[in-house]
Structure 1
Amino acid sequence: MTFFILLLACAAAASTGFLFKPGPWYESLAKPSFTPPNWMFPVAWTVIYLLLAWAGYRLTLIPGSQVVLALWAAQIALNTLWTPVFFGAHHIFAGMVILIVLWLVVAAMVVMALQLDVITGLILFPYLAWLCVAAALNFSILFKNR
């Protein structure tokens, strides 16, 4: 049951992508050459959300994981916030600020998870890697579209 609750939280975060689609505004922005193709975003996020739910579930089984689970909750809230700010409100700078805080929370979560359980930490690592790509993309878009 816990896994499904965490998966539901991930689905709520993912739903912002359906509510606030990139659309013409995003297409009109100058983007860097390393911008992934549009089809890659839903594929990557689907995998990441499944991994997040799995890692969160594993953390609930580990004694002493309360702080990491609090970070899990914080990251899903920040993750949910980014899409309406960036794609909905078209606030590139605010999106960058949210993304920096999100990256820091996820980095701390990965480090702490690795200390509790190596497998769980490794399950979270693709999320951190994808956030590096997202941050570089967001920063480049901010820089190119002043």
Structure 2
Amino acid sequence: MLSCHRLVTPSASPSASRQTFALAGWLALCFAATGTAAFVSTDGWYAGINKPTWNPPSWVFAPAWTFLYATMAVAAWLVWREGGWRAQGRALGVFVLQWVLNALWTPLFFGLHRPGLALIDILALWLVLGATLMAFWRVRRAAGVLLLPYLAWVTFATALNFMIWRLNP
């Protein structure tokens, strides 16, 4: 039977210590995106702008992103375990691209107070994240599944960003 999925050549599994180090690295990378918030002023701009009635309370964001960054890291780690960068360079490369777009959103939205630019960024993030999810799914289905909550959240965040842009001309 022919399969449309790319075959991955089995290779020697990385040692337990190397896998642990790699997982720690993926976690560090994913959570490093929160570092962009350190360069953003908390001058009350967000509290003063118009938001839709369905805007979640501020306390929701930290636990949501903690969960999402952790699942992103585990997903990337699962793909990395299938042959490392040499075998999975495309899938991991598109993952890094979506991470860059994710990290850019906070300074665009909160730092520069530019919901329009942030909307362009998050739309690009949504597209690249969709490509990442598909690439991860092909390599390791569990890795793709782990990105589904992230895609759902980015979809919601895109709608919220759009409404904030519309409500604050």
Same fold (TM over 0.5): yes
1:108 alignment counterpart: 131
CA pair 18-140 structure 1, distance change in 2 beyond 3 A: same
2:152 alignment counterpart: 129
TM-score by length of 2: 0.82
Q: How many residues align?
A: 146
TM-score by length of 1: 0.94
Give the 3-state SS of the residue equivalent to 1:65 in structure 2. Answer: helix
Question: Does 2:102 correspond to 1:83?
Answer: no
CA distance in 1, matches of 2:43, 2:75: 32
CA pair 22-103 structure 1, distance change in 2 beyond 3 A: farther
Question: Does 2:86 correspond to 1:66?
Answer: no
Counterpart residue type for residue 8 of structure 1: A
CA pair 143-131 structure 1, distance change in 2 beyond 3 A: same
CA distance in 1, matches of 2:49, 2:30: 28
Compute the displacement of 1:33 (Å): 1.4
Which of the numbers 11, 15, 38 marks the counterpart of 2:31?
A: 11
CA distance in 2, matches of 1:66, 1:59: 10
Structure 2 unmatched runs, 5+: 1-20
Residue identity (%): 34
Give the 3-state SS of the residue equivalent to 2:44 in structure 1. Answer: helix
Q: CA RMSD in A?
A: 1.3
CA distance in 2, matches of 1:21, 1:37: 19
- Structure with greater helix percent: 1
CA distance in 2, matches of 1:132, 1:22: 25
Counterpart residue type for residue 72 of structure 1: F
1:35 alignment counterpart: 55
Larger Rg computed on CA atoms: 2
CA distance in 2, matches of 1:125, 1:69: 17
CA distance in 1, matches of 2:64, 2:162: 19
